[in-house]
Amino acid sequence: MAHEGKVWRYGDNIDTDVIIPARYLNSFDPKDLAAHCMEDSDEHQDAPFATNVVEGDIMVGGKNFGCGSSREHAPVAIKAAGVPVVIAADFARIFYRNGINIGLPLLEIGDDVKKISHGDKLKVDPSTGVIENLTTGETYHAQPLPGFVQEIAKAGGLINYIKEKK
């Protein structure tokens, strides 16, 4: 299924402490986490993410997105904020696993992220990895997920995958 949404653009090395600060990890209710998502970011402070995100908006980061702590609360917070897909040059590996496991599609497009600006409108199809930038008219292609990882994504996450396998 393709998603159409406005871009929240972030830089390189967005760490999970910025995505959801540890002071909020005393809850793992997705709604609580979404309310504080990206709260410590120094980007978009004039219109902070948590209070301005609209269901369907797309998050785009630079390289090493999601580095740091293994807290699954980070992709959960992004997903619960209404973001259906995250695009980055590349992802830190635990964040990448966590995204797949909780059913939040993550697309890696390398240097092509530099062509995407804050506020651009994208049409993204996670199943094909095709990203259309409706603002600039460009198209980018993400690497497809390897092997059975694609099946985990298709099942909507690891728990469903394991239950289906059983």
Partner 1 sequence: MGMNMTEKILAQHAGLESVVPGQLITCKLDMVLANDVTAPPAIKEFAKIGRPVFDNTKIALVPDHFTPNKDIKAAGLAKTVRDFAKENKIKNYFEVGRVGIEHVILPEKGIVAPGMCIIGADSHTCTYGAVNAFSTGVGSTDLGVAMATGEAWFKVPKTIKVELIGKKPKNICGKDVILTLIGKIGVDGALYQSLEFAGEGVAELTMTDRLTIANMAIEAGGKNGIFPYDKVAEEYVKGRVDYDFTPVEADPDAQYEKVITINLSELTPVVAFPHLPENTHPVSEIGEIKIDQVIIGSCTNGRFEDLEQAAEVFNGHKVHPDVRCIIIPGSQKVYMDAIHAGFVDIFVEAGCAVSTPTCGPCLGAHMGIMTAGEKAVSTTNRNFRGRMGHVDSEVYLAGPYVAAASAILGRIAVPEEVE
> How far apart, in Å, are the Cα atoms of 35 and each of 20, 38, 69, 165?
9, 9, 19, 35
Minimum CB distance to partner 1, residue 138 (Å): 25
Side-chain half-sphere exposure of 8, counting CA atoms within 13 A: 28
Q: Binding segment for partner 1 among 3-11, 40-48, 51-59, 121-129 (CB under 8 A)? A: 40-48
Residues between 81 and 110 that touch partner 1 (CB under 8 A): 90, 92-94, 97-98, 101-102
Q: Binding segment for partner 1 among 26-34, 80-88, 111-119, 122-130 (CB under 8 A)? A: 26-34
How many residues can be counted in the chain?
166
CB 8 within 8 A of CB 49: yes
Q: Binding segment for partner 1 among 2-10, 19-27, 115-123, 128-136 (CB under 8 A)? A: 19-27
Side-chain half-sphere exposure of 76, counting CA atoms within 13 A: 14
What b/e sequence results for 124-134 when a residue is b if at least 16 CB atoms lie within 10 Å of its CB, and e otherwise? bbbeebebbbe
153 is a contact residue toward partner 1 (CB under 8 A): no
Of 54 and 162, which CB lies nearer to partner 1 in the complex structure? 162
Q: Report the interface residues with partner 1, using CB under 8 A.
A: 13, 15, 17-18, 21-23, 25-28, 40-42, 63-64, 67-73, 75-76, 90, 92-94, 97-98, 101-102, 146-149, 157-159, 162-163, 166
